[in-house]
Amino acid sequence: MTERIEQTSEVARAWNRVRAHLRESAGARLFDQWLKPIELVETGDADNVRLSLPSAFMTNWVRNHYADRLMHEFRAILPHIRSVTIDTSRAGDAPVVLSVPAPVAAVIPITPGLASAAAIEQPVLDSRLTFDRFVVDASNKVAFNAAKALAEPGPVRFSPLFLHSGTGQGKTHLMHAIGHAFLAAQPDARVLCMSAERFMFDFVSALRARDTYAFKARLRSADLLLIDDLQFIAGKDATQEEFFHTVNEIMAAGKRLVISADRCPQALEGIEPRIIGRMAIGLVADIKPPSIELRRAILTRKLADMPDVTVPAEVLDLLAARIHANIRELEGALNRVVAYAQLTGDAIDTDFAVATLGEVLRGSQRRVTIDEIQKLVSTHFELKPLDLISARRARAVARPRQIAMYLAKRLTTRSLPEIGRKFGGRDHSTVIHAVRRIEQLRDTDREVDGAVRVLMRELDG
């Protein structure tokens, strides 16, 4: 019992130090808004830290922006910490908060040394980033299959695996998924996962402590080593030297190595040619920017994790159409819409989404024009562009006209009266009717839904 109390106090003292470092690094304004409300909750387990926030919105923000940082901060002080969980306080369930008197000094410096190297004994893997939660299509299928193959037990088919793509397109998700799958198949395996920046920080700390042996031994004893964002060690000669030797040792031992970067090996500036040569020995797989179908599927998958939330299909279509390249930004936009609706009590619809996201949608939007929409719709339905602005009411013309109005409302920033004027001077109420009618038909008419999807994809390109 006495030992448990001492361990609990140890975690609480560490939390005070972590808070002090966060306040110094993040600044008072950000700290007070997002990090100060975090509470340390008693779990009875000195190896697993549980943190709590008062709302799901704040919890998601801290998870997205500070989960790795919190883990690193705790492990730098207490290397035995295995996990840091960030949860939302449940209504009526007041957490038992651990605390000890805070030190007088604002910041207690962390002594560099083995604590930093010991922090990598256990992999820091996000439990949400698994293969079954990764949405696959043609843009990422090769990378996905390669990642699954490398995670399988048995002889190593290729190593290293080099994943590259733009920001927020799934590299980190696949790396964490590899770690989870490999550990599931081989629970006793040593898996180390870190960013290249963290590799550099730990190496420099070991140099300053004059104890690089432990750092080298820990990394090179890994059965699976995952290094994210290689581009961050560009120009760091000493770090690249150590990285090169680590890669050589891992490959010579026939172990698994996964590297990611924001571009292919040959396009990495400031990275030594011999490192690039090692990357090219294995399998290089790229992840292309997500198609509109993939973005829509990702939103549907994300929404499945929110069983009590209803988001209309047209809102998901809007987000998928307007936010193009970054999946992380796409998921963040959905989180923001849902959170704002919960905070305000408003119903989620397209107007609410546009009002909530504002600059996010305008900044991500490719400048689609109504003229472009009319030309594409008339070509698709084998009509003349003049037909869409004419007074003809035949269904063969009226339905494409409604689809064009629907697309104009979804993909441009033009007001309803402006859209009406571009369609032969029609009233804004006609545009509203057209939009609502196409929304209804998309749920019941496969032909209409298919046409809209094809047109949105072409306009997306």
**Binning pLDDT at 50, 70 and 90, where does residue 160 land?**
very high
CA distances for 320 relative to 27, 271, 313, 324, 334, angstroms: 34, 35, 10, 7, 10
Q: What is the pLDDT, as a whole number, of residue 94?
A: 41
Taking a C-beta distance cutoff of 8 angstroms, is the pair 242, 203 a contact?
Answer: yes
When pLDDT is cut at 50, 70 and 90, the band that residue 373 belongs to is very high
Residue 292 pLDDT = 85
CATH architecture of 370-460: Orthogonal Bundle (1.10)
Name the average pLDDT for the chain.
Answer: 82
Distance (Å, rounded) from C-alpha 352 to C-alpha 343? 13
Judged by average pLDDT, the poorest of 14-28, 270-284, 288-302 is 14-28
Q: Please, are residues 40 and 15 in contact by the beta-carbon 8 Å criterion? A: yes
For the ranges 144-148, 399-403, 441-445, the lowest mean pLDDT is seen at: 441-445
- pLDDT on residue 208: 83
Domain ranges of the chain: 2-110, 131-286, 292-364, 370-460
User: Are 2-110 and 370-460 equal in CATH topology?
Assistant: no
**241-256 pLDDT per residue, tens:** 999 998 888 888 889 9
Query: pLDDT-derived band of residue 392, with 50, 70 and 90 as boundaries?
Result: confident
- pLDDT tens digit string along 24-67? 766 676 777 788 889 888 766 777 888 988 887 778 878 877 88
CA distances from 347 to 315, 318, 352, 356, 432 (A): 12, 16, 8, 12, 18
Residue pointed to by tokens 């119903």: 347
Model confidence at 366, pLDDT cuts 50, 70, 90, reads low
pLDDT value of position 116: 38
> Residue 460: which pLDDT band, with cuts at 50, 70 and 90?
low
Rounded mean pLDDT of 427-450?
89
**What CATH number matches the domain at 292-364, 3.20.20.60, 3.40.710.10, 1.10.8.60, 3.40.50.300?**
1.10.8.60
Tell me which architecture the domain covering 2-110 has in CATH.
Answer: 2-Layer Sandwich (3.30)
In this prediction, residue 161 has a pLDDT band, given cuts at 50, 70 and 90, of very high
Spatial contact of 318 and 355, defined as CB atoms under 8 Å apart: no
Architecture of the domain delimited by 131-286: 3-Layer(aba) Sandwich (3.40)
